[in-house]
Structure 1
């Protein structure tokens, strides 16, 4: 007798933020093979999004440094559902505002601080992949990954440069 497990396939979502007009080859390698990419703002140039779209579909939000005609169509907030997980994307976490639990949000992805972090509050996973752009102070150059399987989600971030 054969046993079959009805597991959902894992969706890999690459997380990147604060590229500030710099699309590092290390970031492209890190994101290769993702099913989707989220850019949490401060992109600073359409060419960055074009490079990411060669890897996977991209959801991007406008950061405080994203100005000009190319950025006008970018939203300040985005919400997407992957399998059974609702993800809210915003550049600056201070602009989040809404009652996430009542909206069913399970993950918040943000940028702006350039500090990579993963935390959970009130059942919501908060992820900041840090900055994959020019090094700022002594902060690491990072990107992150969400793995979604059904209603389960996990997050990691990795240093791209030492």
Structure 2
């Protein structure tokens, strides 16, 4: 007989989310993602080695960003839209933010909003519920060492049926990164 707790664990996914690595992943992010089931990357990967190191560690879903070359664009799409558990997820790199979505995504948001909209590009960590379109917006900020951001960030959360819960933030000051 399968216990109730076991059934719940069978139907939830632990997600690691990052963006804007620009070809660099700090080794400290791997312990943060140790217990996730999948890693999602919201673009500006930087190079295939970065994507490969993530994909070897955990299953990877990724989109390309504006700095990514043809090698990454050949492997990863501009958009990923899929179901995870009971959640309609849309990942893209340049998406804007609630109240100021990019033209390239706004019509689709109006016509068919996802349950969870994820983008990167801004290098600013932001998680907010968009009341107008009734979905959760996530931008994990920037995990890499290039850009104007002072703190490198990533997210970890659980999708359990139709619930998104247990959101955690990984952060590290860029000045602590030794290359």
3-state DSSP of counterpart to 1:25: coil
CA distance in 1, matches of 2:24, 2:70: 17
Equivalent position to 1:39, from 32, 38, 41: 41
- Residue in 1 aligned with 2:124? 115
Q: Cα distance, 1:72 vs. partner?
A: 2.3
Aligned length: 160
Q: Which residue number corresponds to residue 8 of structure 2?
A: 8
**What is the match of residue 87 of structure 1?**
89
The residue aligned with 2:151 is: 140
Change (3 A) 1:40 1:145: same
Structure 1 residue runs without a partner (length 5+): none
Q: Could you say which residue in structure 2 is the equivalent of 1:54?
A: 56
CA displacement, residues 59-94 of structure 1 (integer Å, 9 cap, x when unaligned): 100100001334323210001211101110000112
Give the C-alpha shift of residue 155 in structure 1. 6.4
Structure 1 residues 135 and 65: alpha-carbon distance in aligned structure 2, compared to 1, 3 A threshold: closer
Contact 2:124/2:149 (8 A) holds in 1: no
1:160 aligns with 2:162: no
Q: CA deviation at 1:160?
A: 2.7
Match of 2:30 in 1: 28
RMSD of the alignment, in Å?
A: 2.2
1:99-156 residue CA offsets vs partner (Å, 9 max, x unmatched): 4475361001110000000011132000000100015334320001231111111363
- In structure 1, what is the Cα distance between the partners aligned to 2:72 and 2:109? 30
- If the length of structure 1 is used for normalisation, what is the TM-score? 0.87
Measured in 2, the distance between the counterparts of 1:6 and 1:112 equals 38
TM-score of the two chains, using structure 2 as the length reference: 0.80
Residue 118 of structure 1 contacts residue 155 of structure 1 at CA under 8 Å; is this kept in 2? no
Mean Cα displacement is larger for which, 101-110 or 51-60? Answer: 101-110
Contact 1:130/1:141, CA 8 A, preserved across alignment? yes
Question: Do the aligned partners of 2:158 and 2:166 also contact (CA within 8 Å) in 1?
Answer: yes
| Counterpart Cα distance in 1 of 2:38 and 2:113 | 21
